[in-house]
Amino acid sequence: MIGRLLGETIKVVITPTKDPLPIKADPGMIDQIIINLAVNARDAMPKGGTLTLSTRFKAVGEIEAEKDPDALSGNFMVLSIADTGEGMTLDLQKRVFEPFFTTKEVGKGTGLGLSTVYGIMKQHEGWIAVESQPGEGTHFEMYFPVEANLSSDDESKGDAGDTPPETATILMVEDELAVARMTSHTLQSLGYRVLAVENGPSARRVWQRHGDKIDLLLTDMVMPEGVSGMDLANEFASQRPELPVIFMSGYSEDLIKAEGNPHSNSQFLAKPFTRKKLVAMIKQSIEAETATV
């Protein structure tokens, strides 16, 4: 279908992700997104070029989401559509999703193609991002929330007790990027909402915005910026004494004892830790907190 739409001068490259990423989406609307962006790409490549379609997984943290007013934190399937066409200036990028806005000649376009895509993404609780440079083509990325509970394959990879108690929100504070990504990916794939930050000051900002919705604090003990995991736990406990806390550290548990841990509803998770131990400890902490409410 796309080949006939684009013509013989445009090469189509499709690179889907190897792992299934289940999303709740209307197939007809997905087709509409691809068609509209393919037509837009065709018109931007009058002398031919390459159109690349790909899908991939991406975990979006709270800090990254704050950079885009349309973005959300969570687990997403990203549909990317890129062309090697004329590209756009920054001013055009700012207006490209406006209804009836078009750079085409009168009678050759309604200006509704990209605004329609924008609307479809909103209906699917996702968003669309665009990157472009004049003469270097345009790259659109559509973010669809991944529905972890739709995939029986994902569930079969874990333990029977992996399913979280209802929907829980976890504030994770971890300055090691590799650990943060692995942990966030694991928890989000099980249905938890993860607000991931890399230091104490960022955690404080997230707490100010979402403190009443956070069900558990998962924090490293030793971090940059002069704020430790114990500092955060003490501050948050002054507002939410019942908040469960899991301290992560590559050091021994003696570090927590040395700081005088006053939190009876806290646990210690030694690094490196397994997926099974992480999930079991989080589930136990949240269930214990729920039982006391």
Q: Give pLDDT, residue 41.
A: 92
Q: Give pLDDT, residue 158.
A: 43
Closest CA to 19 of 162, 189, 182: 189
Long-range contacts made by residues 149-157, C-beta under 8 angstroms, separation at least 24? Answer: 149/191, 150/22, 150/23, 150/24, 151/20, 151/22, 153/20, 154/189
Q: Tens digits of per-residue pLDDT, 1-60?
A: 577 778 889 999 999 988 778 888 888 788 889 988 998 899 999 999 999 999 999 989
Q: What share of the chain is helix, strand, coil (3-state, %, to 5)?
A: 40, 25, 35
What does pLDDT average to over the chain?
83
Q: Give pLDDT, residue 101.
A: 61
Q: Give pLDDT, residue 282.
A: 93
Q: Give pLDDT, residue 289.
A: 67
Coil/strand/helix, residue 33: helix
Q: Give pLDDT, residue 151.
A: 38
Q: Give pLDDT, residue 258.
A: 63
Q: Give pLDDT, residue 128.
A: 94
CB atoms within 10 A of CB 139: 16
At position 31, the amino acid (one-letter code) is D
Query: What structural domains does the chain harbor?
Result: 2-145 (3.30.565.10), 158-292 (3.40.50.2300)
Segments of the chain scoring below 50 in pLDDT? 106-111, 149-160
Q: Give pLDDT, residue 143.
A: 96
Q: 127-132 and 216-220: which strand pairing?
A: unpaired
